[in-house]
């Protein structure tokens, strides 16, 4: 009886943490302010055509797209120019700066419009999505950040499922309580006015952290500016780490443990209880097979619902979730070691100090 109650509490925590996932609503017919889209890009020749092609039909008079070439070793710059973007070469990386923060800062200094949208190169905008992002930002103000819907094409990409769910849960923004002080943001898509960006200190204020989204959101709140978080289904999507399992491991190892350290304690407890519920079928399999089977079906059903809202992971990922769970735990342990023991992580050919969070 005790095992069943403990499972139900953890399983319920999973529903509580993702009770709602609001998405940007349809944009009104009225005009919108001109936007400067800043895209930091390092070795992104394969990703940029998709993003720039999705943006092109949605741009209006006065809009600009700036691709910051962050010392790429491939044809990033020429591909961006061919797609009609303005290309800015990032100067040599200064001491104390992380590459993405430097690229975003460099791009922001070149913008001319009142609104800035920072987009990762592996994202793409759904038809009408740019207007929805800008209209919803105009209602929220401050920093507006959206977690893109996750495209999944190859089997190894399914291993990102739990990382995506935990990232959303960790913000504390999607419970029934609608908390005012959710934690963090989503780096692939951030929208702000240029005035608010300067008031928060921008990327210069978080220059030394790989967690630019989390640290930047903290800077906005410290400046008295709101932070609004949304899910991206129907508006913006991305394909994370398409080049193999090694890229998945490196990508999530670089910042997941440090991000977890910034989550509110009550949210950590709820996520831990949910992870324990996910592990229950394995733990109970020997002593109580019937309960283990019931727990497995309950978790798989919950994951079918959750994963459908965040990406194209499908029922196969939900039904075989013990594999993504084992992968998640292994990579999280690796991230803990790199972040707090070795104190350096590696991403896109650069070694980055991981202990400084810059918030």
Contacts of 272 (CB under 8 A, 6+ apart): none
Sign of CA dihedral 312, 304, 162, 174: positive
Assess if residue 24 is contained within a domain.
no
Sign of CA dihedral 182, 187, 188, 190: positive
User: How much is the average pLDDT of 148-160?
Assistant: 94
Assess if residue 249 is contained within a domain.
no
Q: Which residue has the higher pLDDT, 358 or 329?
A: 329
Contact criterion met (CB below 8 Å) for 152 and 313: yes
* pLDDT of 321 strictly over 80: yes
Assess if residue 30 is contained within a domain.
no
Q: Based on the domain organization, do 273 and 156 belong to the same domain?
A: no
Q: What is the pLDDT of residue 179?
A: 64
Q: Residue 3's pLDDT band (boundaries 50, 70, 90)?
A: confident
Q: Based on the domain organization, do 11 and 109 belong to the same domain?
A: no
Pairing of strands 64-69, 86-89: parallel
Q: For 29-51, how does the pLDDT look when each residue is reduced to its tens digit (9 = 90+)?
A: 788 899 999 999 999 999 999 99
Q: Measured over all CA atoms, what is the biggest interatomic distance in the chain, rounded to whole angstroms? A: 67
Q: Which residue, 244, 268, 286, sits at the end of a domain?
A: 244
Q: What is the percent of the chain with per-residue pLDDT over 70, rounded to a whole number?
A: 94
Q: What is the pLDDT of residue 160?
A: 94
Of 39, 45, 43, 42, residue with least CA distance to 108: 39
Query: How far is 293 from 302, CA to CA, in rounded Å?
Result: 14
Q: What is the pLDDT of residue 257?
A: 72
Contact criterion met (CB below 8 Å) for 157 and 248: yes
Element (H, E) at 26: none
Q: Which residue, 244, 268, 296, sits at the end of a domain?
A: 244
Q: What is the pLDDT of residue 358?
A: 40
Query: How far is 236 from 52, CA to CA, in rounded Å?
Result: 13
Contact criterion met (CB below 8 Å) for 149 and 231: yes
Q: Which of 142-151, 255-264, 344-353 has the lowest mean pLDDT?
A: 344-353
Sign of CA dihedral 272, 12, 320, 169: negative
Query: How far is 259 from 249, CA to CA, in rounded Å?
Result: 16
CATH of the domain at 115: 3.90.550.10
Exposure letters 13-31 (e unless 16+ CB within 10 A, then b): bbebbbeebebbeebeeee
* Domain span holding position 57: 35-244
Element (H, E) at 229: strand 227-231
* pLDDT of 345 strictly over 90: no
User: How much is the average pLDDT of 168-182?
Assistant: 86
Q: Based on the domain organization, do 299 and 214 belong to the same domain?
A: no
* pLDDT of 92 strictly over 90: yes
What's this model's pTM, rounded to 2 decimal places?
A: 0.92
Contact criterion met (CB below 8 Å) for 295 and 7: yes
* pLDDT of 1 strictly over 80: no
Q: Residue 347's pLDDT band (boundaries 50, 70, 90)?
A: low
Q: Based on the domain organization, do 240 and 189 belong to the same domain?
A: yes
Q: For 178-195, how does the pLDDT look when each residue is reduced to its tens digit (9 = 90+)?
A: 766 778 899 999 999 999
Contact criterion met (CB below 8 Å) for 147 and 188: yes
- Placement of tokens 């759904």 in the chain: 126
User: How much is the average pLDDT of 206-220?
Assistant: 92
User: How much is the average pLDDT of 80-102?
Assistant: 95
């Amino acid at each position: 009886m005790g095992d069943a109650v403990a499972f139900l509490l953890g399983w319920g925590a999973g529903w509580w943490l993702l009770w709602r996932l609001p998405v940007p609503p349809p944009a009104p017919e009225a005009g919108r302010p001109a936007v400067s889209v800043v895209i930091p890009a390092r070795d992104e020749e394969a990703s940029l055509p998709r993003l720039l092609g999705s943006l092109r039909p949605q741009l209006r008079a006065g809009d600009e797209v700036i691709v910051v070439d962050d010392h790429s070793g491939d044809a990033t710059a020429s591909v961006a120019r061919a797609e009609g973007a303005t290309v800015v070469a990032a100067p040599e990386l200064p001491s104390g700066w992380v590459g993405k923060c430097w690229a975003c800062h460099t791009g922001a200094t070149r913008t001319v419009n009142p609104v800035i949208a920072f987009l990762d190169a592996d994202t793409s905008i759904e038809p009408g999505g740019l207007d929805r992002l800008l209209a919803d930002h105009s209602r929220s103000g401050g920093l507006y950040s959206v977690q893109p819907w996750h495209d999944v094409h190859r089997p190894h990409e399914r291993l990102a499922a739990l990382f995506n769910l935990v990232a959303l849960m960790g913000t504390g923004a999607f419970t029934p309580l609608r908390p005012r002080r959710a934690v963090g943001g989503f780096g692939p898509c951030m929208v702000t006015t240029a005035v608010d960006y300067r008031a928060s200190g921008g990327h210069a204020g978080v220059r030394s952290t790989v967690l630019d989204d989390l640290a930047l959101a903290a800077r906005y709140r410290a400046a008295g500016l709101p932070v609004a978080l949304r899910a991206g289904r129907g508006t913006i999507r991305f394909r994370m780490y398409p080049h193999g399992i090694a890229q998945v491991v490196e990508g999530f190892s670089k910042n997941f443990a440090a991000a977890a350290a910034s989550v509110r304690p009550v949210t950590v407890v709820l996520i831990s209880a949910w992870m324990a519920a996910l592990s229950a079928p394995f733990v109970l399999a020997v002593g109580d097979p019937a309960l283990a089977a019931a727990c497995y079906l309950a978790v798989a059903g919950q994951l079918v619902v959750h994963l459908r809202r965040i990406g194209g992971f499908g029922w196969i990922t939900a039904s075989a979730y013990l594999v993504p769970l084992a992968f998640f735990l292994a990579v999280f342990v690796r991230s803990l070691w790199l972040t707090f023991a070795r104190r350096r992580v590696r991403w896109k050919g650069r070694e980055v100090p991981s202990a400084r969070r810059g918030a």
